[in-house]
Structure 1
Amino acid sequence: MNVHLQAKIKHWLSLDGDENSREQIQTLLDNDDIDELAARFSGRLMFGTAGIRGVVGAGPMRMNPLVVQQTSKGVAEYLKAQIKDASTRGVIIGYDGRHDSKRFAHDTASVLTSAGVKVYLTERVAPTPLVAFGVLHLDAAAGIVVTASHNPPQYNGYKVYWENGAQIIPPHDSGIAARIEHAATNAISLMSHSEAIAKGKLIILGDDFYQAYRHGIQQASTLQNHTAPERVSLAYTAMHGVGADMAETVLKDAGFTQVYSVAAQREPDGDFPTVNFPNPEEAGAMDLVMAEAHKHSAMLACANDPDADRFAVAVRRTDASADMSPSEAYQMLTGDQVGVLLGHYLLSHAPDDQRLTCRTIVSSSLLSQIADSLNAVCETTLTGFKWLTNVGMSKQTNTNRFLFAYEEALGYTIGSMVWDKDGLSALVAFAQLTAELASKGQTIWDRLEAIYRQYGFYLNQQVSIALSAESGAPTIGEQLRALAPNKIADRVVVSVDDISIGIRRFADGREERIDLPASDVLIYQLDDGARVIVRPSGTEPKVKCYYEVVEQFVDTDSLQTVQARAAQSMANLIKCHQQELPG
């Protein structure tokens, strides 16, 4: 073992007061497992705009009590430096149902109170949207939620909200990261909860807080469509997470009586025993909720992810029958389809002074077309909900308030009660849309087809492509910019957005500025309405490509024939584009 690694380990052990963590390191030392030690001490978990997330284990490259304590000390010092009354306004802390989450949340509270910052700590597990809600509800200086969302069981994470109730964006991420680096050089002071409570520095948020969120949902102007909720039947799963109690409650409050929860997945369980991967987007993750829906011939099979900030839904097919399997009877909607359906529905009911929507650059551009036709605004942001909500806040006015935002990765926010994705309010809104349609003898499929017939069938697909790269060769981004194609898959390139410099270049040579933060992204708009977005990796020779094709209907078309044409068009676009990439 080299001297540098030895010094890192010695320093870590001098600061780590957790017996289990110290034993892990000692076992690795006893087994002379240099490779594993080197991996755990190769740096530290990087604090970014999504906070930190990683595998639970000992060492600075893992999630453990000391990393959480150091992170919390950095957050506390940064808050005190940036917000003059941060210590008295305080920080709300919540946590999900993973095995270490309560410990990490309680450690966070001990560090913040020791640093002089007031803390509001949830008395039990809480859906992530409740913490985001709590920042504004309590007028707190920040919020922290301990969660790894839909990551595998071995992970945990730590997310920070700013005083505006949204996830942090630059420069706060780098500012906090610098404070964490400094905090990691010294022992961290902890205050016991009993002492903090006695000093008025720690307030435990009991049922009144959870009821405040519930009442917020009840009173939200965007969730007041109570048309025939008794007509809707749905199955629901919390996916071994923390959403079930609140999801069932807000559905009942909204009048939905035919709700069937998946018992095997209802309670929080950090092992996630019935799913290989607790993410509704993953194959098989929705199997149990679709089986529950099929048992009751329910219209919808709905899911929240384990921290209940995402929403997924499978819809009963119009040709479904009892002798079909659940996977035959129900079809998953994509995140884009749910986003378009909710956006169209909400805009159809919204008042004239609440017509501001947002989508990310890689989400379907269909929402923009719908907004244009309904006298509304759709802002386009970088990927990530932190951008959707911060942009939504900055762009809204007294005469055009924020209504809705979504990203294709199953994230939706409705109204301004929660400035982050909220799988609970999305669940209620989607159920209300379904009920309104049912009262007219229509289904979700009818509404989706009507939208497609009016605006065109939009199909989106994402592909990650590994490329060869020689040492010393230009980066993938540089090569792509040097190519400057005027055609992609025999489609003429109408414009190219280079987000890294904030410029849109048109085929005729014109240029215009793009109002987006710099990011290594290229967007090619093609002459038939298709779109190719390329996001080069900054660390390895690969690119993420996001494709969109648009197919228009003719009178003789069925939805199936248009879908087939779009699928063929997409396959051709992807194949040709990949062949045209460098390397």
Structure 2
Amino acid sequence: MFQERYQFWLNDSYFDEETRSEVASLNDPKEIEDRFYADLEFGTGGLRGILGAGTNRMNIYVIRKATQGLADLISEGGEERKARGVVIAYDSRRLSYHFAREAALILARNGIKAYLFKNLRPTPELSFAVRHLLAQAGIVITASHNPKEYNGYKVYWEDGGQIPPDRANQILDRINAHQQWNDIHPLPEKDAREKGLLIDLGEELDYAYLKKVKELALYPDLAQEKGKNLSLVYTPLHGAGNMLVRRVLTEMGYSVFTVPEQEKPDSEFPTVPYPNPEIPSTFDLARKYGKAQNAQILIATDPDADRLGMAIRTPSGEYQQLTGNQVGTLLAYYFITQKRSLGILPDDAVIIKTIASTDLADLMVMDLGVQIENVLTGFKFIAEKEQEMENLGTGNFQFGFEESYGYLAGHFVRDKDAVIASLLLCEAALYYQEREGRSLLEVLEDIYQRYGYFVDDQISMTLQGKEGKEKMQRMMTTLRETTVESFGGILIERIDDYELRKGKRIIAPQENYSLLLPQSNVIRYSLQGGGFVMARPSGTEPKIKFYFNIRDVNPQELQNTLERVKSDLLKLVAD
């Protein structure tokens, strides 16, 4: 099967000369198989993969086919949906603009209006633009925080949120209906513009978006008066965040120093191993400038500016990087307590987080008298829950977060938003500094003393190709078929299998129950006293991830406990 595909891409004149030359240069039979044994998987995160020729790689032909599937679904809804159009944004990665333009011209070929940003923009602004322009859908070309060899294609629907599984399956069915690759052609750009099917977007969307972001500030006057007292260093990590993050902070009253070596977009990301603010080394340059500037906080955004990392200066002058769980917990605490103090916290306020995010937030939010909702891993599920509450009129969304550095407030974006998070974190840091004489680290310590100390960690195994996918399946099967009663000496209270949608409490009183969340290949072990261990193969990357959230009343014991838990888990899944 893959040999036929290989020969087709090697010889058919539909593929450009560069693509055919790349295919002809392949010598390793295993690489040929990996590139052609399957189509690059289209899931709820859209597409994401290594750039290159082949059906299992990111290239213009895969982009064309995916966009044709989306166009088919939109066209089935009639002329009104086609006229509402699709908004397209892109980040600083290799071929991002080329892919975005190609998608726009495939839509135009199908008579669907395409709004294309003239320059790179953050993913959350794409989400906003879909809602603001009342568009039918959105596309963003990005591989988020992946290595430079990757790019991706994410699809959004009319609510501004990433497509959920059922919508992804509808698009996938239409993609699969196109068995031939060589019958999908873009409309020439000149024709698309003349027909009004290709429209440029620019600063008018920036203004509308930033106006909404600024309205989220709880103490705008404090920032105008005292903002320059908060010394901060920012790095966009060569991505799309620089213009809007720096602009909103500056306009609100903060003084921002931007890391000069990482300020400009660069698809090679030359100063970092991965452009991921979760990785400590991405802060190396920010730390250097932070010490020179005597900055209180450092912030970093990933290439498409939907994720935000943060480090805070300690009394010793070093910088402590916070986890996504710590930032999410701090922002949830800030929003709840300060909105209540200002008399603007709704009675039906709701915080939304994912099942991969810390149990500390559940304890804290419920103790503060606010409802908390847990959803599947992936920010699209937070946005989907917000939309559901809005439709049903039950609950008032205040804040959402996931452990992988994603945060959201407000009702005008339906995805994680590092522009919003930058503003809220700076305001929280300034508020506690100026009004209470405390740092965010001291606020976090108070939360720990009240609800227990938690430590987070994650093991991410990259398993490439067909063999890697089979190994991940074996790991999940082992976990499902093995009776586990404890990890690291901590008893397991409940095991939830979201693939089977069944849960069981394994300590007295024992019981079986059904899970209400949608089906997903995830197993979560809830530990007695709080915390969890969770296993989840990624839907968009060749990875399996193991999440650890461990609680102890004694912070000195946390790291040892964590290592014991990790060791037990790794022994269990060893192949």
Q: Normalising to structure 1: TM-score of the pair?
A: 0.88
- Aligned AA (1:480): L
Partners of 1:212 and 1:271 lie apart in 2 by 31
Q: Report which stretch shifted further, 43-52 or 75-84.
A: 75-84
Partners of 1:546 and 1:239 lie apart in 2 by 26
List aligned pairs for 1:246-395, cutoff 5 A: 246-256=244-254, 258-320=255-317, 329-350=318-339, 351-353=345-347, 355-395=349-389
Cα 1:390/1:314, change in 2 over 3 Å: same
Any conservation in 1 of the 2:9–2:23 contact (CA below 8 Å)?
A: no
List aligned pairs for 1:147-296, cutoff 5 A: 147-183=142-178, 185=180, 186-220=182-216, 224=220, 226-227=222-223, 228-256=226-254, 258-296=255-293
Any conservation in 1 of the 2:237–2:302 contact (CA below 8 Å)?
A: yes
- Aligned AA (2:84): R
Name the structure 1 match of 2:500.
Answer: 501
Q: 1:116 aligns with which of 111, 116, 120?
A: 111
- Aligned AA (2:286): V
Partners of 2:205 and 2:454 lie apart in 1 by 41
Name the structure 1 match of 2:514.
Answer: 513
Partners of 1:84 and 1:417 lie apart in 2 by 26
Any conservation in 2 of the 1:533–1:547 contact (CA below 8 Å)?
A: yes
Higher normalized contact order (CA 8 Å, seq sep 6+, divided by chain length): 2
Deviation sequence 1:316-372 (CA, Å, 0-9, x none): 11221xxxxxxxx11111111111111111111331246211111111011111210
Deviation sequence 1:36-89 (CA, Å, 0-9, x none): 433322222111111111122222222112221121111111222257632011
Partners of 2:219 and 2:165 lie apart in 1 by 33
Q: Report which stretch shifted further, 485-494 or 51-60.
A: 485-494
Q: After TM superposition, give the deviation of residue 188 of structure 1 in Å.
A: 1.5
- Aligned AA (1:424): V
Q: After TM superposition, give the deviation of residue 199 of structure 1 in Å.
A: 1.3
Q: After TM superposition, give the deviation of residue 373 of structure 1 in Å.
A: 1.4
Q: Secondary structure of the equivalent of 1:188? A: coil
Cα 1:128/1:220, change in 2 over 3 Å: same
Q: Secondary structure of the equivalent of 2:320? A: strand
Partners of 1:249 and 1:366 lie apart in 2 by 33
Any conservation in 2 of the 1:357–1:378 contact (CA below 8 Å)?
A: yes
Deviation sequence 1:457-495 (CA, Å, 0-9, x none): 11122235899x9x99x9544543444344444433332
Q: Secondary structure of the equivalent of 2:12? A: helix
- Aligned AA (2:427): Q
Q: How many percent of aligned residue pairs carry the same amino acid?
A: 33
Partners of 2:32 and 2:115 lie apart in 1 by 37
List aligned pairs for 1:15-34, cutoff 5 A: 16-28=14-26, 34=29
Deviation sequence 1:252-288 (CA, Å, 0-9, x none): 12111x2100111111111111112111222421111
Cα 1:88/1:235, change in 2 over 3 Å: same
- Structure 2 alignment gaps of length 5 or more: 340-344
Partners of 2:123 and 2:461 lie apart in 1 by 33
- Aligned AA (1:515): L
Any conservation in 2 of the 1:223–1:428 contact (CA below 8 Å)?
A: no
List aligned pairs for 1:387-406, cutoff 5 A: 387-396=381-390, 398=393, 400-406=395-401
- Structure 1 alignment gaps of length 5 or more: 321-328, 553-561
Q: After TM superposition, give the deviation of residue 299 of structure 1 in Å.
A: 0.5
Partners of 1:198 and 1:60 lie apart in 2 by 33
Any conservation in 1 of the 2:488–2:562 contact (CA below 8 Å)?
A: no
Name the structure 2 match of 1:57.
Answer: 52
RMSD: 2.8
Any conservation in 1 of the 2:487–2:564 contact (CA below 8 Å)?
A: no
Partners of 2:564 and 2:535 lie apart in 1 by 17
- Aligned AA (2:557): R
Partners of 2:516 and 2:372 lie apart in 1 by 14
Q: After TM superposition, give the deviation of residue 116 of structure 1 in Å.
A: 0.7
Q: After TM superposition, give the deviation of residue 197 of structure 1 in Å.
A: 1.9
Name the structure 2 match of 1:558.
Answer: none
- Aligned AA (1:154): E
List aligned pairs for 1:446-485, cutoff 5 A: 446-463=442-459, 475-485=474-484
Any conservation in 2 of the 1:357–1:379 contact (CA below 8 Å)?
A: yes
Q: 1:43 aligns with which of 15, 38, 45?
A: 38
Of the two, which has the highest radius of gyration?
A: 1
Q: After TM superposition, give the deviation of residue 172 of structure 1 in Å.
A: 1.5
Partners of 2:482 and 2:28 lie apart in 1 by 46
Q: Secondary structure of the equivalent of 2:44? A: coil
Q: After TM superposition, give the deviation of residue 16 of structure 1 in Å.
A: 3.2
Deviation sequence 1:138-167 (CA, Å, 0-9, x none): 110000011111212221111100111111
Deviation sequence 1:396-434 (CA, Å, 0-9, x none): 564631111111111111122211011111000000000
Partners of 1:399 and 1:225 lie apart in 2 by 32
Partners of 2:439 and 2:132 lie apart in 1 by 37
Q: Secondary structure of the equivalent of 2:41? A: coil
